[in-house]
A = this chain, B = another copy of it.
Amino acid sequence: MLDISEVSRRSGLPASTLRYYEEVGLISSAGRRGLRRIFEEAVLTRLSLISLGQAAGFSLTEIGQMLGATGTPSIDREQLVRKADELDRKIRELTALRDGLRHTASCTAPSHLECPTFQRLMRDATTHVVKGRARRAQDRRAAKDKTPK
């Protein structure tokens, strides 16, 4: 049983963030001692998963879904596979970008923008970045229409 400062110390997250996470249902405390939250050790694992998910570019909402909204961390397998595929795409993008940067750094062409290798890398990598952007914009509009005010 850990108090909030202990969780903070061991997770590296400020107490304010832990309270916030509890408020939005990402973690839960095992109860209170007086006013004070007490946490189980398991929360540390959950916090690791959250940080990891964030590093992967998922929103807290998505992470909440992946971890199971309600306490128990039993997860929808199909959803996991979808997320993994998403990550695969992202990794390919980043790899292309990294190669692009490396190439640009060592390319002796007068302007790397003229280099065909660079151009190809870029075009490849950008295609579905834009698609993703368009999709998210669409999602936003759809959400807004459902809640017209």
Contacts and interface: CB of A to CB of B under 8 A. Distances in A.
A139 to B, nearest CB: 15
B80 A104 contact: yes
Nearest to A11: B130
For this complex, into which size category does the number of interface residues on chain A fall? 35 or more
Interface string A84-98: 100110110111011
Contacts of A94: 55-56, 87, 90-91, 94
Taking the full assembly, how many copies of this chain does it contain? 2
A105 interface: yes
Contacts of A77: 105-106
A78 B133 CA distance: 30
Given A56-B94, A75-B104, A129 B51 contact: yes
